[in-house]
Structure 1
Amino acid sequence: MTSNESPRPYRLGVLHGDGIGPEIVPASVLAVDAAVAAAGAAPVQWVELPLGRSAIDAHGSAVPDSTLKALGDLDAWLLGPHDSAAYPEPHRSRLNPSGTIRKHFDLFANIRPATAFEGADAVVPGTDLVIVRENTQGFYADRSTYKGTGEFMPSPDVAIAMGIITRPAVERIAREAFELARRRRRKVTIVHKANVLRLTTGLFRDVCLEVAADYPDVTVDDFHIDAMTVHLVRRADEFDVVVTENMFGDILSDLAGEIAGSLGNAPSINASADRAMAQAAHGSAPDIAGRDVANPTAMIMSSAMLLDWLGGRHRDDALSEAADLIRRGLAATVRSGTLTPDMGGTAGTRRFSEAVAAAIARP
């Protein structure tokens, strides 16, 4: 949609999840509503759907079929964290809720920024990078097979896991990374372990380098995963876009989030060409659930990423402006000293969320 057309209403799903999810997801809804109003976009139509332990109790499944069907009719959705490790069997042993949704909609790109806020502590001030993580293959058991698991035990004393890397999957995630780099600082770092995993991560590295040839305006380098952890700790502020396979991306994005200030600030979206899901990179933190101390920043920033994705997909300038308003509102709130406990402050979840919404709406 161009800026001279009437704004279209977007229908976004809301899945609160477990633990702190029912606290941080409403904070994101509050921020989105404030931002779309301030940007002159059409109000969002929110659709709440069951997911997680409450869905098990009410529907007999952590992700009911009715939820998956409803998600397919929506523009995008917000997914709160889940605590699948605490589910009763047989639900605990099944694919977790985010994995179920990701696999069902082939959300192949997990985009995880790490940005240091002015006014908050960071291990490396000035960090502003994005981990682009291939989300459908690699070494995690739930992503190695169409059905079942890529992890098995031929005997009680032997455990085996498969790692899958394919050229088509690497090509599409590499293009996501290079296209993103063109919108940022035009630098891509490929992370692999080709000195040991020569065939699998070697293929990942080589295909990324082949794709790089189509982007001569983007600078490219590469590092082994172990070396990359050291580089992040020492000089995270020098990296722009980092592309890697699934497990490496999971580890590096948690590290980068903490380096930038707090894992509570680490957002992400999971996306395909036509679907996207906002999901904070952190877990459900059941130990602090219901205490009004959870940091909603990651979920709010994930929602901003979702608006950006929708704005780009539908050429809707108002949504892109709303995403920018959320980021500015968050930055202004942190600069003002309104911080949650994990960021060194005393503000509760609700007070922090209301301060962000007020900063967004302020002229």
Structure 2
Amino acid sequence: MSGKTSLEIAVFEGDGIGTEIMQPCLDLLSAVTETVGGFGLTFKSLPAGAGTYSREGTALPPASLQAARNADAILLAAMGLPDIRYPDGTEVAPQLDLRFEFGLYAGVRPVRSVAGTPAVLADPRAAGLDFVLVRESTEGLFAARGKGSVENDSEARDTQVITRAVCERLFDFAFKLAGERKAAGLPGRVTCVDKANVFTSFAFFRKVFDERAALHPDIGSDHAYIDATALNMVRHPWDFDVLVTENMFGDILSDLGAGLIGGMGMAPSADIGDEHAVFQPCHGSAPDIAGQGKANPTAMFLSGAMMLDWLAVRESLPACAQAAAMIRKAVDRVFASGAVVPFDLGGSSGTLAVTEAVMAALRDPEAAAVAAI
């Protein structure tokens, strides 16, 4: 932990709506930094993504990778376009390259209801959802990325990889997170999500989980199969606290979690390793609405808040945590007031309206946020 107060953030706008939601997020981060004081942020914009690949023949230029490596944190909007692909037919996704390159094994996907957003589930308990999915982000089925094979145009194979070294770090991360949540008054329980009844790799995943759970006797632990978990995330998601799972399962469940709180525009995320971390919305580049001013920047704002929380711990800067809390409170205040309803939530508030309302709530916490709908 360095304790430095001047922090450099590597910024990847990427593709599609990424170029529309990043600048509002940077403006918000600059505003909250100025309000709180005690630390400073500088932003370094770096090229990467499908557009970069089409222009330069590489999706993640070496200079961008090195600059990201040198930065204190990495903020990413969205990357990839469906009509720009690698020769094997897969989409350009340098955000995955960053996870593998920097060993970002813990994909943190919070599922938190925001008051004032349209209800997705009828049960009133869904209005208070607050659980976290921790997705392993460097191996599992994704370890086969770029390594799969097709034999005689008749059989295709991808291989899942589960290692003890990554699992131990992943599970320790999940138990530490559950401990922090328990200290904040939440249940403090970790659920291992797997398919251990069918696959050897998942039986091993569960075995290592149980070993690490024994080292955290103050934190509750249990197991659930992936299919049952998908069912229960709809039937009674309020029963979950911290879920930890393999890469592909986590990819699917995180989208389901986003759906429970209104959609991808409300879902932030982080991919965290021992030395580096990337913060980005769960959503993609949404080329169908790019350039129309319709993108909901909320997930981008909340991802920025997650970055500040991580920096607060890493750099011993409580002011960063204060700034993160201010962003979340501003977002909550705006949606609770009904001042904005983004397009993806059934309203007509575009990127600018949401941004202006959140900025106003940040600058004047006592005033009701007002924005054109």
Could you say which TM-score interval applies, normalised by the shorter chain?
A: over 0.9
Q: Give SS of 2:71's match.
A: coil
SS in 2 for 1:324: helix
What's the TM-score, normalizing by structure 1?
A: 0.93
Q: Secondary structure in 1 aligned to 2:292?
A: coil
C-alpha distance in 2, partners of 1:313/1:183?
15
Residue 9 of structure 1, aligned match among 6, 9, 26: 6
Alignment of 1:221-300 (within 5 A): 221-300=222-301
User: Which residue among 83, 94, 98 is the counterpart of 2:95?
Assistant: 98
TM-score (norm 2): 0.90
1:137-216 equivalence runs, <5 A: 137-140=139-142, 143-144=143-144, 148-149=146-147, 151-184=148-181, 185=186, 186-197=188-199, 199-216=200-217
Tell me the amino acid that sits aligned with residue 204 of structure 2. Answer: L
**Cα offsets for 1:19-40 (capped at 9, x unmatched):** 1101111121122112222221
Kindly state the Cα deviation for residue 291 of structure 1 after the two structures are TM-superposed.
Answer: 0.8
1:91-120 Cα distance to aligned partner (Å, 9 max, x none): 964762111221111111110001111111
Identity %: 39
Q: 1:225 to 1:158 in 2, by over 3 A?
A: same
Give me the whole-angstrom Cα distance separating, in 2, the residues matched to 1:234 and 1:254.
16
Kindly indicate whether the alpha-carbon contact (under 8 Å) linking 1:61 and 1:91 is maintained by their aligned counterparts in 2: no
Structure 2 residue runs of 5 or longer lacking an equivalent are: 366-373
TM alignment of 1:37-48, pairs within 5 A: 37-48=34-45
Residues 360 and 41 of structure 1: CA distance in aligned 2, closer, same or farther (over 3 Å): farther
- Partners of 2:291 and 2:246 lie apart in 1 by 35
Deviations 1:217-245 (CA, angstroms, capped at 9, x unpaired): 11111110000011110111121110001
1:269 deviates by 0.7
Q: Evaluate the alpha carbon distance shift between residue 160 and residue 45 of structure 1 in structure 2; reply closer, same or farther with a 3 A threshold.
A: same
Shift of 1:171: 0.6
Q: C-alpha distance in 1, partners of 2:34/2:53?
A: 35
Question: What residue identity is the alignment partner of 2:293?
Answer: D
> What is the CA–CA distance in structure 1 between the aligned matches of 2:354 and 2:83, rounded to whole Å?
29
Residue in structure 2 matched with residue 346 of structure 1 by the alignment: 348
Q: Is the 8 A contact 1:62 1:91 kept in 2?
A: no
CA distance in 2, matches of 1:203, 1:345: 46
| Equivalent residue runs for 1:99-118 within 5 Å | 99-118=96-115
Equivalence for 1:332? 333
Which of 180-189 and 54-63 deviates more? 54-63
Q: 1:358 aligns with which of 357, 360, 364?
A: 360
Q: How many residues align?
A: 354
* Amino acid corresponding to residue 196 of structure 2 in structure 1: A
Alignment RMSD, CA only?
A: 1.8
1: CA distance between counterparts of 2:214 and 2:27? 43
Instruction: Measure, in 2, the Cα distance between the counterparts of 1:19 and 1:166.
Output: 35
Write the letter of the residue equivalent to 1:361.
Answer: R
